[in-house]
Chain A
Amino acid sequence: MSDFLLELRSEEIPARMQAGARAELEKLFRRELDAAGVEAGEITVWSTPRRLALIARGLPLATEAVSEELKGPPVGAPDQAVEGFCRKAGVDKGDLETRDVKGRATYFAVKNIPGRATADLLAEAIPAIVRDFSWPKSMRWGGASISTESLRWVRPLSGIVALLGDEVVDCEVHGVTSGAVTLGHRFHHSGDITIGNADDYAVKLRAAHVIVDHEERQDLIRSGAAKVASEAGLRLVEDEGLVIENAGLTEWPVPLLGRFEEDFLEVPPETIQLTARVNQKYFVCEDEKGELANAFICTANIEAEDGGARVVDGNRKVLAARLSDARFFWDVDRKKTLAEHAKGLERITFHEKLGTVADKVERVAKLARWLVEEGIVVPAEAGTATGQGATSTAIPASAVLTKDQLADMAEQAARLAKADLVTEMVGEFPELQGLMGGYYARAEDLPDAVADAIRDHYKPVGQGDDVPTAPVTVAVSLADKLDTLFGFFNIGELPTGSKDPFALRRAAIAVIRLIEANGIRVLVSEMARYWNTGDTVGPGLQVEDFLHDRLGVMMKEAGVRYDVVQASTDLGTRLDGDIWRVRRRAAALQGFLGTEDGANLLAGYKRAANILKKEDWHGAEGEIARTGEEDPLAIVDDPDLQSVVAAKMEQRRASELSYAAEPAEKALMDALANSEPAASRAIAAEDFSAAMAALAALRAPIDRFFEEVTVNADEENKRAHRLDLLARFRAAVHKVADFSRIEG
């Protein structure tokens, strides 16, 4: 057994590619070992900006010899066949052996493959790994690049260390030969370092100011940055992305804290943090009050002779220049009101078929106002919480808006929400869209609710993002996303497969989350009708389908079965456009099906439905003109026909039975008489748990009915009545959810 070390040295590897490169190196190394039949033990992979390293522990020194037998044609087969077999097997005809196979003499080729030294296998594997290595972007370099066939690597590949045990594995890739020699830190160490074996590799590099283990460097940055922050009486704002990036930019990371002029703190803290992080890869700090401090932490790659004073001073100057720019943008942008900025949106195309951003703003403003006027988005009540998390405050009675005020504010916020897109600051930092608009709105003394809505109207963006609950924000956010959905569906720009260039899926998810978090009750088609200037629902039904699709996916992720969602969505002839209701119904249904009553009731339902189908029994509703539906029973669920069906059923029930009902039959009739109205009342009140409970009361009677009563009685009047009874049972169940959609 022996340990193997491979180091591939190169000019600085981009930080963002290093994690992928480590995975690629391990994958290719395992592939090579597998192909050679060598068992791979423990493998460790490290990276620095200047090297990728792999250590494989406990490799055998040689592979075992194997004997391979290949069965050939029977003796006496045509020469051609025998020769073909020899070629394929790579043996001479004279070396073939003859064996008996089920009484027939048959040729066999026996190949003894001797074991191979692992060092030899590795000498072939290394060039293959280098050649097959896949980088996000690769390049050619140097004299060899006179041919485009020359080696491609992320940056010039400058050296290979390959040691099995204490021995060099000799190989060569495009002029780079393997050896035992590597280099240390670019500035802290000069000259060659000779590595003895896998065990002294990290040790010798450390002595040469290189920490080869990326995780150790990450730890050093994490703890070092926290330490310099606390030494300055501050708290580090943690940023794992920056930790990894800085570890990918350094071989000997040294976090250093510097200060910038306090005056810069007058610009919004987010801009400072973004400037520091994106442009300079600096951490920022907070003071004890949790406010941004005038400090930054850079990660140097050297232990500077002066303790880093010059390094810090240089970085401070660079940051100051950047912050000056930010302050300049902040000052310039505030010279105009948001309304003035908004005029610039007329010059920005939203989509060639959907007009400019100004056109979109106009549509969103109208829709936002309408949502309030129709009572879809309502003013918050006094005492309820607004805002999220730490900034949440209860609304005092004096701050409660009237419907008219809310409508005005929603329209105003919508008209200004996109204005920051044409400001200098958002031009420089697109990530600050919304946020800057909020700041500028406050700077011109617009109401807080309007400023908050401008700031938050893009939310919710990602899965973990807060969902707005402040009414003005909800109206603008919902209107903005609905306009996007209606607009793109209207011009036929739909997402396909993995392609969703206008992020319509995200918009749909945001709409669903807004509806859910705020208990918004509205039919999608209703909103579409307004959006489409009242003529028709336009893209409304398509968008409704799309929202249902997303809802199904979201609920599935939350553990609700897809068929349950479908059963809760389908109202027979159309989908329930009330997303809030669908979601509640599905949750209750999923819960019910998980109970014993639920599972048994489902079984009873299926049995009843099967009998009705087999008997082609349409019950009372069967007497209503057919609509051409494939399943005639479907029309019982058509809300437009429900009253007619109910009247017919009532009529039949009222007519006296022409025979004495059996006890189990009577029990089901009685149970239905109780459960039907109970379920109806619960559904009307949208209390889906109560509706399920009403159904649960039917479970025992339906089980007993099937046990004791013969449906297909010889007497036609009995049969008709019993089938009607089952149809009634079925209809009662359907009032609650479409159980025919449920599997199992």
Chain B
Amino acid sequence: MDRNPQNSFQDMILALHDFWSAQGCLILQPYDMRMGAGTFHTATTLRALGPEPWNAAFVQPCRRPTDGRYGENPNRLQHYYQYQVILKPSPPDIQDLYLKSLEVIGIDPLKHDIRFVEDDWESPTLGAWGLGWEVWCDGMEVTQFTYFQQMGGFDCKPVAGELTYGLERLAMYIQGVDNVYDLAFNDRGVSYGDVFLENEKQMSKWNFEVAETDALFDLFNKAEAECRNALANDVPIAAYEQAVEASHIFNLLQARGVISVQERASYMGRVRDLARGSCEAHMAKEAPAWAEKYPEWSK
């Protein structure tokens, strides 16, 4: 079937799926939880740990409550999509593969200026960092390209390469559209605004004005307690989910403006402890099997 990535948001996604599927990636579906970035998907965080090869691609809806603009800003959204590719170990031709994926969705590198500009990535919450670039297309950042060096405080052995495409801005660029809500979602007249504008208006209002803050504080504490409960019972994946939940609740509290500057650091520290604890537990649980299967590997 012919894809039409130049005129359709969904076709652009499908073209990326086709491409990365052909490269041997698993095509996964979004994680069914609210999260701030595709990196939180277990297919990225937990799979970046340990020696087993892992190649996957997926779309992840991202929630950034403080970025909501009630549908009035042409670029900023509180809900948007990232396209994630994770390749472990990072293949030697990863840059070439990435550039080919751009051509697949219609970006010709002899007409457009593609640049790899230094941009290192760090997530204190996940105890993770990596080196890489932001990829520029005619001066616009379209992808974050990272070689993970550490995750959950552990060295990545081997290192995974992570590609995170900002789908809306890439589509706006390819379709030549200045307002995200004007994007063609498909090639039959449905726009991004038709799908998401009302959602942005309502969710911005809820994030900033409506959400019951006492309930949110309560949810945060419950997620924290549940994470510890899961850790105590040796189910680290379940624990990790609660860390992701706590992280999002924290973001909502921030949007409601009820966390002071001093408290902010303390909340971030609590989320970090949960995320790191989950990674550590996951590592501890899997390490014996990994070491047996990959004798050259050690924790």
Which residues of chain A have a CB within 8 Å of any CB of chain B? 11-12, 14-16, 49, 137-148, 154-156, 158, 186-188, 249-250, 280, 282, 298, 300-302, 304-306, 310-311, 313-315, 317-319, 321, 347
Whether A304 and B111, one on each chain, are in contact in the complex, defined by CB atoms closer than 8 angstroms, is yes
* B residues less than 8 Å from A140 (CB atoms): 147, 149, 158-159
Which residues of chain B have a CB within 8 Å of any CB of chain A? 51, 74-75, 89-92, 95, 99, 109-118, 120, 130-133, 137-140, 147, 149, 155-159, 161, 173, 178, 261, 294, 296-297
Q: Are A314 and B140 also in contact (CB < 8 A) when A137-B131, A139-B131, A139-B147 are?
A: yes
User: B116's closest neighbor in chain A, by CB?
Assistant: A12
Q: Are A310 and B111 also in contact (CB < 8 A) when A15-B118, A142-B90 are?
A: yes
A635 to B59, CA, bound (A): 84
Q: Are A321 and B75 also in contact (CB < 8 A) when A143-B158, A144-B158, A156-B92 are?
A: yes
A138 to B137, CA, bound (A): 25
A305 to B178, CA, bound (A): 24
* A residues less than 8 Å from B74 (CB atoms): 321
Whether B111 and A306, one on each chain, are in contact in the complex, defined by CB atoms closer than 8 angstroms, is yes
A301 to B92, CA, bound (A): 23
* A residues less than 8 Å from B116 (CB atoms): 11-12, 49
Q: For residue A12, give the distance in angstroms from its CB to the closest CB of chain B.
A: 4
**19 residue pairs bridging A and B, Cβ less than 8 Å apart:** A12-B116, A137-B120, A137-B131, A139-B149, A140-B158, A142-B89, A142-B90, A145-B157, A156-B147, A186-B99, A187-B114, A304-B113, A305-B110, A306-B111, A310-B138, A311-B112, A314-B112, A314-B140, A319-B139
Q: Contact partner of B158 among A146, A280, A300, A305, CB < 8 A?
A: A146
A11 to B118, CA, bound (A): 11
Whether A188 and B51, one on each chain, are in contact in the complex, defined by CB atoms closer than 8 angstroms, is no
Whether A311 and B131, one on each chain, are in contact in the complex, defined by CB atoms closer than 8 angstroms, is no
A155 to B94, CA, bound (A): 12
Whether B261 and A347, one on each chain, are in contact in the complex, defined by CB atoms closer than 8 angstroms, is yes
Whether B139 and A298, one on each chain, are in contact in the complex, defined by CB atoms closer than 8 angstroms, is yes
Whether A146 and B296, one on each chain, are in contact in the complex, defined by CB atoms closer than 8 angstroms, is yes
Q: For residue A301, give the distance in angstroms from its CB to the closest CB of chain B.
A: 6
Whether A314 and B149, one on each chain, are in contact in the complex, defined by CB atoms closer than 8 angstroms, is no
8 new A-B contacts at CB < 8 Å, known A12-B118, A302-B109: A14-B118, A139-B149, A142-B159, A145-B89, A147-B157, A186-B114, A318-B138, A321-B75
Q: Are A146 and B294 also in contact (CB < 8 A) when A140-B149, A302-B109, A304-B110 are?
A: yes
Q: Are A310 and B159 also in contact (CB < 8 A) when A11-B95, A142-B92, A146-B89 are?
A: no
Whether B296 and A148, one on each chain, are in contact in the complex, defined by CB atoms closer than 8 angstroms, is no
Q: Are A155 and B131 also in contact (CB < 8 A) when A143-B89, A148-B155 are?
A: yes
A403 to B56, CA, bound (A): 74
User: B260's closest neighbor in chain A, by CB?
Assistant: A347
A584 to B155, CA, bound (A): 61
Whether B111 and A146, one on each chain, are in contact in the complex, defined by CB atoms closer than 8 angstroms, is no
Q: Are A188 and B138 also in contact (CB < 8 A) when A16-B118, A140-B159 are?
A: no
Whether B158 and A302, one on each chain, are in contact in the complex, defined by CB atoms closer than 8 angstroms, is no
Whether A318 and B110, one on each chain, are in contact in the complex, defined by CB atoms closer than 8 angstroms, is no
User: B298's closest neighbor in chain A, by CB?
Assistant: A147
Q: For residue A597, give the distance in angstroms from its CB to the closest CB of chain B.
A: 62
A321 to B118, CA, bound (A): 22
A355 to B112, CA, bound (A): 52
Whether B139 and A301, one on each chain, are in contact in the complex, defined by CB atoms closer than 8 angstroms, is no
A606 to B160, CA, bound (A): 76
Whether A12 and B133, one on each chain, are in contact in the complex, defined by CB atoms closer than 8 angstroms, is yes
Q: Contact partner of B159 among A139, A302, A313, CB < 8 A?
A: A139
Whether A301 and B115, one on each chain, are in contact in the complex, defined by CB atoms closer than 8 angstroms, is yes
Whether A142 and B110, one on each chain, are in contact in the complex, defined by CB atoms closer than 8 angstroms, is no
A249 to B137, CA, bound (A): 13
B132, B159, B297 interface centre (most CB from chain A within 10 Å): B159
A520 to B133, CA, bound (A): 52
Q: For residue B168, give the distance in angstroms from its CB to the closest CB of chain A.
A: 13
Q: Contact partner of B110 among A139, A158, A187, A347, CB < 8 A?
A: A187
User: A148's closest neighbor in chain B, by CB?
Assistant: B155
Interface pairs A-B: 4 shortest CB-CB: A314-B138, A14-B118, A12-B116, A315-B139
* B residues less than 8 Å from A310 (CB atoms): 111-112, 138
Q: For residue A300, give the distance in angstroms from its CB to the closest CB of chain B.
A: 4
* A residues less than 8 Å from B159 (CB atoms): 139-142, 145
Q: For residue A147, give the distance in angstroms from its CB to the closest CB of chain B.
A: 6
A599 to B169, CA, bound (A): 76
* A residues less than 8 Å from B296 (CB atoms): 146-147
Whether B139 and A280, one on each chain, are in contact in the complex, defined by CB atoms closer than 8 angstroms, is yes
Q: Are A146 and B297 also in contact (CB < 8 A) when A11-B95, A141-B90, A298-B139 are?
A: yes
User: B138's closest neighbor in chain A, by CB?
Assistant: A314
Q: For residue A329, give the distance in angstroms from its CB to the closest CB of chain B.
A: 13
A125 to B57, CA, bound (A): 42
A143 to B161, CA, bound (A): 11
Q: For residue A637, give the distance in angstroms from its CB to the closest CB of chain B.
A: 54
A158 to B155, CA, bound (A): 22
Whether A318 and B147, one on each chain, are in contact in the complex, defined by CB atoms closer than 8 angstroms, is no
Whether A318 and B139, one on each chain, are in contact in the complex, defined by CB atoms closer than 8 angstroms, is yes
User: B161's closest neighbor in chain A, by CB?
Assistant: A141
* B residues less than 8 Å from A11 (CB atoms): 95, 116
A147 to B299, CA, bound (A): 10
Q: For residue B70, give the distance in angstroms from its CB to the closest CB of chain A.
A: 14
* B residues less than 8 Å from A347 (CB atoms): 261
Q: For residue B113, give the distance in angstroms from its CB to the closest CB of chain A.
A: 4
A300 to B116, CA, bound (A): 12
Q: For residue B76, give the distance in angstroms from its CB to the closest CB of chain A.
A: 10
Q: For residue B246, give the distance in angstroms from its CB to the closest CB of chain A.
A: 26
Whether B261 and A146, one on each chain, are in contact in the complex, defined by CB atoms closer than 8 angstroms, is no
A146 to B299, CA, bound (A): 10
User: B93's closest neighbor in chain A, by CB?
Assistant: A158
* B residues less than 8 Å from A250 (CB atoms): 115
Q: For residue A304, give the distance in angstroms from its CB to the closest CB of chain B.
A: 6
* B residues less than 8 Å from A319 (CB atoms): 139
* A residues less than 8 Å from B130 (CB atoms): 139
A319 to B158, CA, bound (A): 39
Whether A141 and B147, one on each chain, are in contact in the complex, defined by CB atoms closer than 8 angstroms, is yes
A250, A306, A315 interface centre (most CB from chain B within 10 Å): A315
User: B297's closest neighbor in chain A, by CB?
Assistant: A146
A305 to B109, CA, bound (A): 10
Q: For residue A232, give the distance in angstroms from its CB to the closest CB of chain B.
A: 19
Q: For residue A618, give the distance in angstroms from its CB to the closest CB of chain B.
A: 64
A527 to B65, CA, bound (A): 50
A311 to B161, CA, bound (A): 28
B112, B118, B133, B147 interface centre (most CB from chain A within 10 Å): B118
Q: For residue A188, give the distance in angstroms from its CB to the closest CB of chain B.
A: 7
A137 to B149, CA, bound (A): 12
Whether B113 and A145, one on each chain, are in contact in the complex, defined by CB atoms closer than 8 angstroms, is no
Q: For residue A256, give the distance in angstroms from its CB to the closest CB of chain B.
A: 9
Q: For residue B93, give the distance in angstroms from its CB to the closest CB of chain A.
A: 10
A302 to B137, CA, bound (A): 12
* B residues less than 8 Å from A305 (CB atoms): 110-111
Whether B92 and A249, one on each chain, are in contact in the complex, defined by CB atoms closer than 8 angstroms, is no
* A residues less than 8 Å from B114 (CB atoms): 186-187, 301
User: B92's closest neighbor in chain A, by CB?
Assistant: A142
Q: For residue B131, give the distance in angstroms from its CB to the closest CB of chain A.
A: 4
Whether A311 and B138, one on each chain, are in contact in the complex, defined by CB atoms closer than 8 angstroms, is yes
* B residues less than 8 Å from A137 (CB atoms): 120, 131
A415 to B117, CA, bound (A): 42
A311 to B109, CA, bound (A): 10
Q: For residue B149, give the distance in angstroms from its CB to the closest CB of chain A.
A: 6
Q: Are A302 and B120 also in contact (CB < 8 A) when A137-B131, A317-B178 are?
A: no
* B residues less than 8 Å from A12 (CB atoms): 116-118, 133
* A residues less than 8 Å from B112 (CB atoms): 304, 310-311, 314
Whether B110 and A302, one on each chain, are in contact in the complex, defined by CB atoms closer than 8 angstroms, is yes
* B residues less than 8 Å from A148 (CB atoms): 155, 157
A347 to B260, CA, bound (A): 10
* B residues less than 8 Å from A186 (CB atoms): 99, 109, 114
* A residues less than 8 Å from B111 (CB atoms): 304-306, 310-311
A623 to B90, CA, bound (A): 89
